[in-house]
């Protein structure tokens, strides 16, 4: 290992320039050293457990117009759908019976009463039908404090809202911003999610046009400063019929975005040892073993898609989306085989909450009791 890299990796805390240096590494032997360090931390702190979250893509109806996203409101080439309660509950039943123990409900963003009520009722039914045995993560975008509270009280206990990028100028290039919806509103939403009591997750897209290594280093520092509990980040992948695709000619090649995403996972794992990190589906869109490689880079969560097959092609966020015609059982047994080969173990029947979330709470409690004494 280069002495410089060795010095950085032996530090207790990274400075910004350390992170930039790690993310700029191009030598594959050196990159492997970074990954190995991250993976050994993952094994030591979080064992060889891999947690499954059954991903339910609830609806592609969206009120937002994010310039990178295939299901953006303005994309007229999308066949819009919303799952019926029965379809959601059947998917949940599959997850429950197969001991996935946790699900994620992800959806295009809507704030109207009908949507808020539908999700709320579903949460209650899911808890009831599974004897409270299923853990629920929501990924339904920016909502009011009242809605976050309502859904929390009805049974969701983790919430994922990607900041997408912490560079506000870049954020403004990839989103239509107005007085109501902007970088500040995204940050505020994350604060509200945390305040409500959710295990709070965020993430970014990696390899966006105009994005620099410096931006990605700031993203990782943001996760640390915000004391986030979970991260789901992955490569930006171009999508037809989106405004951002006019910049496809300046994108890094897909394999470089892939490699950089793995490096982001590894550096984050070294910085935040006990958080949950998802190995994103977008990694698998670039490489058939992408999610497994994400695990070896330091991730500990995988989200197998359990959306009814007929709707998967309509939740097309980006090109090359994998698994649009693969049955849940096929994916499950492939992941089982691959994960076993890595000497990792799927933690069936366990929620797999963020250890960091509970460690934080314990620390807070201890310092409160100490100051009382
Ligand atoms: N509406 C919710 C929200 O905004 O959080 C959840 C749905 S949104 C489609 C889920 C995530 O998909 C976004 O946070 C974004 O990072 C990711 N995504 C959308 N388009 C993408 C693309 N072209 N490449 C990679 N990820 C993309």
- In this structure, the residue with its CA closest to atom 19 of ligand 1 is 69
Mutational test site, ligand 1, from 162, 238, 320, 322, max ligand atoms within 8 Å of CB:
162
Phi, psi of 222 (to 5 degrees): -60, -45
CATH architecture of 19-367: Alpha-Beta Barrel (3.20)
Question: Atom of ligand 1 at shortest distance to CA of 62?
Answer: 1
Percentage of the chain with pLDDT > 90?
Answer: 95
Please write the tens of the pLDDT for every residue from 131-142.
Answer: 999 999 999 999
Residue with tokens 């295939």: 70
CA 193 → CA 179, 263, 334, distances in Å?
A: 21, 28, 35
- Ligand 1 centroid to 61 CA: how many Å? 13
pLDDT of residue 363: 82
Whether the per-residue pLDDT at 373 is higher than 60: the answer is no
Q: Which residues line ligand 1 (CB under 6 A)?
A: 68-69, 71, 106, 108-109, 139-141, 161-162, 164, 205, 236-237, 239, 282, 317-318
Mutational test site, ligand 1, from 317, 320, 322, max ligand atoms within 8 Å of CB:
317
pTM of whole model > 0.85? yes
Question: Atom of ligand 1 at shortest distance to CA of 164?
Answer: 16
- In this structure, the residue with its CA closest to atom 11 of ligand 1 is 162
Residue with tokens 């070294």: 270
Please write the tens of the pLDDT for every residue from 288-315.
Answer: 999 999 999 999 999 999 999 999 999 9
34 burial level (CB within 10 Å; 0-12, 13-18, 19+):
buried
Whether the per-residue pLDDT at 361 is higher than 90: the answer is no
Whether the per-residue pLDDT at 371 is higher than 90: the answer is no
Q: Where are the domains of the chain?
A: 19-367
- In this structure, the residue with its CA closest to atom 13 of ligand 1 is 162
């Amino acid at each position: 290992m280069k002495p410089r890299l060795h010095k950085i990796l032996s530090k207790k805390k990274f400075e910004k320039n350390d992170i930039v240096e790690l993310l700029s590494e191009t030598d594959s032997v050196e990159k492997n050293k970074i990954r190995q360090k991250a993976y050994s931390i993952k094994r030591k702190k979080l064992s060889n457990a891999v947690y499954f979250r059954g991903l339910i893509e609830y609806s592609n109806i969206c009120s937002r117009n994010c310039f990178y996203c295939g299901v953006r409101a303005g994309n007229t080439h999308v066949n819009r759908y919303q799952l019926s309660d029965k379809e959601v509950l059947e998917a949940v039943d599959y997850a429950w019976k197969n001991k996935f123990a946790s699900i994620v409900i992800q959806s295009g963003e809507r704030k109207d009463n009908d949507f808020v009520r539908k999700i709320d009722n579903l949460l209650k039914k899911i808890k009831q039908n599974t004897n409270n045995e299923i853990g629920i993560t929501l990924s339904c975008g920016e909502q009011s404090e009242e809605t976050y509270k309502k859904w929390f009280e009805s049974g969701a206990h983790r919430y994922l809202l990607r900041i997408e990028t912490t560079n506000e100028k870049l954020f403004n290039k990839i989103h239509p911003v107005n007085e109501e919806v902007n970088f500040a509103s995204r940050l505020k939403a994350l604060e509200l999610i945390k305040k409500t009591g959710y295990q709070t997750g965020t993430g970014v897209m990696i390899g966006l046009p105009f994005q620099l290594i410096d931006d990605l280093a700031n993203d990782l520092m943001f996760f640390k400063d915000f004391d986030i509990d979970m991260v789901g980040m992955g490569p930006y992948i171009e999508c037809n019929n989106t405004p951002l695709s006019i910049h496809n000619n300046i994108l890094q090649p897909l394999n470089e975005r892939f490699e950089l995403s793995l490096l982001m996972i590894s550096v984050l794992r070294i910085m935040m040892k006990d958080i949950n990190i998802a190995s994103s589906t977008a990694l698998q869109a670039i490489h058939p073993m992408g999610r497994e490689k994400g695990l070896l880079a330091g991730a500990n969560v995988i989200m197998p898609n359990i959306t009814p097959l007929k709707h998967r092609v309509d939740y097309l966020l980006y090109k090359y989306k994998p698994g649009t015609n693969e049955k849940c059982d096929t994916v499950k047994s492939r992941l089982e085989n691959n994960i076993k080969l890595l000497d990792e173990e799927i933690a069936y029947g366990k929620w797999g909450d963020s250890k960091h979330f509970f460690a934080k709470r314990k620390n807070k409690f201890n310092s409160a009791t100490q100051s009382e004494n």
